[in-house]
Structure 1
Amino acid sequence: MNGVLVSAWAMTVIVAVRYLATSGLFAWLTARVRPGHYAGLDRQIRSEIGWSLATAAIYGVPAGVVAWGWQERGWTRIYTDPHALPLWWMPVSLLLYLFIHDTWFYWTHRWMHRPAVFRRIHAIHHASRPPTAWAAMNFHPVEAAVVSLLIPALVFAIPIHVAVLGLVLLVMTVMGVTNHMGWEMFPRALVHSRAGNWLITASHHHRHHEQYRCNYGLYFRFWDRLCGTDKGLSAP
């Protein structure tokens, strides 16, 4: 039991430090590239950081339990030998995890925009007006649990190399922050390219924070386009 608790505590600290480092880096970049962009938002940013640090525990505890179970009990399908499965499985598993996560996020996100659920849960996230680099994990505890439990569950079902899992978490973290910065950091040539038409960046997600009932995806625009909820790009 002590091992599980230590692992859960350690993972909570790791998630919190990862959040502070990543959001801090992009907030610093915003101050350099767009001076004054977050002017007057000090109170909002303090609230975003407070909720996000609480979210770190909700992310960290199940992740810590899973990490302990993988190392001590062999519970999961995480593997370390790159040759344990065909090498082509590594990029396939990356895309599969991202697609499943994006699907889960899209449909739970749409559910959170039902009026009663929005008022009780999701309104905390939308209190960020406009969102900042600190808002990526600014969630009510129920939303944090819904968002956080999928990846730990997937490692029990779908084999993934530990380095690829780290890449999934890196993509999740960076896109979560950059999509909320309130301005587009990626070049226009990418955002408006054929590939960019299927990827979500700040220009796409900012419109969600402007209009609420559209642009629900996390990584890809697939479900938004398929379901008619893609309302194009904003100009943050």
Structure 2
Amino acid sequence: MLAIALSALAMTLIVGVRYLLTSGAFALVTSRVRPGLYDGLAPQMRREVMWSLTSAAIYGVPAGLVAWGWQNRGWTLIYTDVHAHPLWYLPVSVFAYLFAHDTWFYWNHRWLHRPGPFRRAHAVHHASRPPTAWAAMSFHPWEALTGAVVIPSLVFAIPIHVGALAVVLTVMTVMGVTNHMGWDAFPRWLVHGRSGAWLITASHHQRHHAEYRCNYGLYFRFWDRLCGTDKGLGSFGDTHISVGLPDRRDRSRID
């Protein structure tokens, strides 16, 4: 039990430090590239950091348990020998994880926008108005729990090389931060080109924070397009309104 607890603590520290370094780096870039963008948002950003570090602990516990089980009991399908599966399987496994995570996120996100779950949990995330580079993990604990179980569950179902898993976690971290920065860090040709038509970008996710009932995806626009919830790219001025929970007009749009 002590070893499991230490593993959970170690993973919590890793997730927390990863969040601070990644969000901090992109916040620094924002201050240089878009000076003044976060002016007046210091109280909001402190709340985002507080909620995010709480989320880090919630993400760290199942990750630590799975890491211990992998190293000591061989519970998972994580492998270290790159030749255990064909080399073409490496990118396939990365895509499989991202698509599975995106699928869970989309449908769970739509459920979180029902009035009850929104008021009890998801409103914490939408209190970031406009979202900043610190908002990527700013979740109520109940919402954080729904996200924390996804990757730890997938390692029991889909074989993945430890290096490919690191790629998945890197993509998850970077896209989580960049989609909330309030400006597009990716080049215009990607955001407005053919790739951008299928990938979630900051301008796409910004529209979700402005209108609530659209653009629910995490990595890909597949489910939004299939289900008719994709409303395209948004304007970065849309969410520059008073900080706080949605007013009555906003709440009519959360389900």
Q: Under a length normalisation based on structure 2, what TM-score does the superposition of the two structures give?
A: 0.92
- Give the number of the structure whose residues are more often helix, by fraction: 1
For 1:172, give the aligned amino acid.
M
1:177 and 1:16 map into 2 onto residues whose CA distance is 14
Partner of 1:93: 93
For 1:128, give the aligned amino acid.
S
- 1:55 maps to 2:75: no
List gaps (5 residues or longer) in structure 1. Answer: none
1:182 and 1:28 map into 2 onto residues whose CA distance is 13
Partner of 1:117: 117
Partner of 1:105: 105
What does 1:123-134 align with in structure 2 at a 5 Å threshold? 123-134=123-134
- 1:39 maps to 2:39: yes
What count of residue pairs does the alignment treat as equivalent? 236
Per-residue deviation at 1:17?
Answer: 0.2
Per-residue deviation at 1:44?
Answer: 0.2
- 1:23-58 alpha-carbon deviations (Å, 9 max, x no partner): 000000000001110000000000000000000000
2:198 and 2:103 map into 1 onto residues whose CA distance is 14
- 1:150 maps to 2:162: no
Partner of 2:176: 176
2:183 and 2:13 map into 1 onto residues whose CA distance is 29
1:125 and 1:235 map into 2 onto residues whose CA distance is 19
Task: Name the % identity.
Answer: 72
Q: Under a length normalisation based on structure 1, what TM-score does the superposition of the two structures give?
A: 0.99
For 1:88, give the aligned amino acid.
W
For 1:163, give the aligned amino acid.
G
Per-residue deviation at 1:14?
Answer: 0.4
- 1:1-22 alpha-carbon deviations (Å, 9 max, x no partner): 1110110000000000000000
- 1:69 maps to 2:75: no
Per-residue deviation at 1:184?
Answer: 1.0
For 2:231, give the aligned amino acid.
K
2:186 and 2:6 map into 1 onto residues whose CA distance is 39
Partner of 1:205: 205
Following TM superposition, where does structure 1 have runs of at least 4 consecutive aligned residues deviating by more than 4 angstroms? none
- 1:113-156 alpha-carbon deviations (Å, 9 max, x no partner): 00111011100000000000000000000100101101000101
Per-residue deviation at 1:235?
Answer: 2.6
1:169 and 1:160 map into 2 onto residues whose CA distance is 12
Partner of 2:224: 224
For 1:124, give the aligned amino acid.
V
1:20 and 1:52 map into 2 onto residues whose CA distance is 9
- 1:47-88 alpha-carbon deviations (Å, 9 max, x no partner): 000000000000001000000000000000000000011111
For 1:146, give the aligned amino acid.
T
Partner of 1:214: 214
Moved more, 16-25 or 180-189: 180-189
1:152 and 1:94 map into 2 onto residues whose CA distance is 14
- 1:135 maps to 2:142: no
2:206 and 2:154 map into 1 onto residues whose CA distance is 29
1:34 and 1:92 map into 2 onto residues whose CA distance is 36
Per-residue deviation at 1:188?
Answer: 1.2
List gaps (5 residues or longer) in structure 2. Answer: 237-255
